[in-house]
A and B are shown apart, each in its own frame.
Chain A
Amino acid sequence: MRIYARRTLMAVAALVTASAFGNAQSYPDGKPIEMTTLFGAASASTTTARKLADGMAKILSAPVPIIDKPVAAGAVGYTYLSQQKADGYSIVWSSNSISTTFHTGQLPFDYKNLEHIARVTIENPVLAVKADSKFKTLKDLVDYAKANPEKVRVGHSGKGSHTHLVAVALFSERKAKIIDVPFGSGQAVTNLLGDRIEAAVQFPQAFVSQAKAGNLRVLAVLGTIPDPAFPDVKTAKQQGFKTGMDLWRGISAPKGTPKAVITKLQDAIKKTVESEDFKEAGKQIGFTPAYQSSADFTKMIATDDAATAVVMKEVGLKK
């Protein structure tokens, strides 16, 4: 009862200060910070967001409710967020989709129109072949593809998806022509096992159980750092390629969100991401915690955006 009374008092006091001065010092004052998510209430992405929101809510002692806008690959969610007040009470669970939706013309503005608070996770695309495949290394595969244009079929998760772009980037870097096969509903692994494609690019979760069972061989991680699910597999960069694009996810906010608020959110995210609890969730859901500060994150997005634009132009998706 006493706690209740105290909290009420605190809340009333906070309310008064916040509304009277609206200063960032007392942010967030127990007021809800709405996090917009982009990929469906039960998707792995939103599950991760929920985990993060729980952690942030505890640290900031304010509720962090999730609003899901899973429409048009995130374009609707970003647009919605950009129209919210830049007061720190509206944030978005952003990802590479901000670049892809902009370049396809679905989103009228690009990443520069948002403040980027912190990177939270990355997911590594990985390339695998069947266990009895004649390709033992990534170099074998790419060389063969180069010598035999339009013979190697590489499966991914749909045109314009991250796995598609990274696959194209990898092969075109050595000027190898492949047939890319877009599996919209996650049948890439089945078709790889059924010998109907030569290789597939997917996120680790899709490969883990089949690789453990010895049915698949993972040739390379196409992200920037090795993946905890396949600790022995080297990245493409380590194998002498230039391609390294991971699927990042982080928190962004409307343009003009006060610096002090950004710092507060960034620190809360840092604490959450570095907690044991979050790491454990990563193992289950299939992501790698990869905190980056606001400044680093913004720089990273700029590089990533440029690379994405190049690949999308190549596959004819860039508007």
Chain B
Amino acid sequence: MTDSRETPHDAAGQGAWGRPMPARTGEIAVAIALLAVAVFFISQAALLDFGHIGLPGPGFFPFALGVALALAALMILYAMVRSPDEAAPIYVGHRDVLVTVAALAGVAMAFEQADAYLVLGTFMAFVLLLVARTTWWRALLGACLCMALVWFVFRFALGVRLPTGSFWSGLSAWLPPMFPVGLS
């Protein structure tokens, strides 16, 4: 294994890898989030046509589901608030998880604006550097290799066209039309 780091997987050791949070607090937070989703569905469905009992309209189902979800969330909430806080704490905010999520959000933001290959390559290098904890030149090499592979498999073999910036279209203008790829 080239990966030398050892992640502790017992509860106590995890502390270094995240922030402890009482399980009950977490449960309550999730239940409240579900309740919020339910309220959203109820309020929005109320704007739609309900139809009548013999022929429910488009608003009927979402409304009923919103109410059911709210009930379920309230029941969970009730059970959790009443239960003693005995369960082992849950660890949230692991560094690697946060890094990966941030990187993913970056990709989602930049994917269509900037060049897809550049964005994915940067993402790859970023995660390799910070999560795989490899050296920067390995990360860079890995990213380039991965992008070459992605281009070959998706663009060349499967014909999937990813959004590209001006960089590639500028380059493809110089390639002979022999390459029907046209990169962009």
Contact = CB atoms under 8 A, between A and B. Distances in A.
A114 B178 CA distance: 32
B54 interface: no
B182 A63 contact: yes
Interface residues of B, number: 8
B161 A30 contact: no
Interface string B171-182: 001001110101
A182 B150 CA distance: 42
B172 to A, nearest CB: 9
Contacts of B173: 15
Interface string A2-37: 001001100110010000000000000011100000
Interface in B146-184: 159, 161, 173, 176-178, 180, 182
Contact of B161 (A8, A11, A67): A67
Contacts of B159: 65
Nearest to A5: B176
Contact of B180 (A4, A8, A12, A63): A63
B180 A7 contact: no
B153 to A, nearest CB: 17
Contacts of B177: 7, 11, 30-31, 62-63
A7 B161 contact: no
B176 A11 contact: yes
Q: Is the interface of B mostly helix, strand, loop or mixed?
A: loop
Interface string B119-161: 0000000000000000000000000000000000000000101
A61 to B, nearest CB: 9
B178 A8 contact: yes
Contacts of A12: 176
A11 B159 CA distance: 22
A279 B176 CA distance: 34
A4 B182 contact: no
B182 A7 contact: no
Interface string A41-79: 000000000000000000000110101000000000000
A119 to B, nearest CB: 27
Contacts of A32: 180, 182
A7 to B, nearest CB: 6
A8 B176 contact: yes
A15 B177 CA distance: 10
A7 B175 CA distance: 11
Nearest to B159: A65
Contacts of B161: 65, 67
A110 B22 CA distance: 59
A304 B106 CA distance: 46
A30 B178 CA distance: 9
Contacts of B180: 32, 63
B104 to A, nearest CB: 23
Contacts of A67: 161
A292 to B, nearest CB: 30
Nearest to A3: B178
24 contacts: A4-B176, A4-B178, A7-B176, A7-B177, A7-B178, A8-B176, A8-B178, A11-B176, A11-B177, A11-B178, A12-B176, A15-B173, A30-B177, A31-B177, A32-B180, A32-B182, A62-B177, A63-B177, A63-B180, A63-B182, A65-B159, A65-B161, A65-B182, A67-B161
The 9 A-B pairs at the shortest CB distance, nearest first, are namely A30-B177, A8-B176, A63-B180, A11-B177, A11-B176, A32-B182, A7-B178, A4-B178, A7-B176
Given A7-B177, A65-B159, 19 more contacts: A4-B176, A7-B176, A7-B178, A8-B176, A8-B178, A11-B176, A11-B177, A11-B178, A12-B176, A15-B173, A30-B177, A31-B177, A32-B180, A32-B182, A62-B177, A63-B180, A65-B161, A65-B182, A67-B161
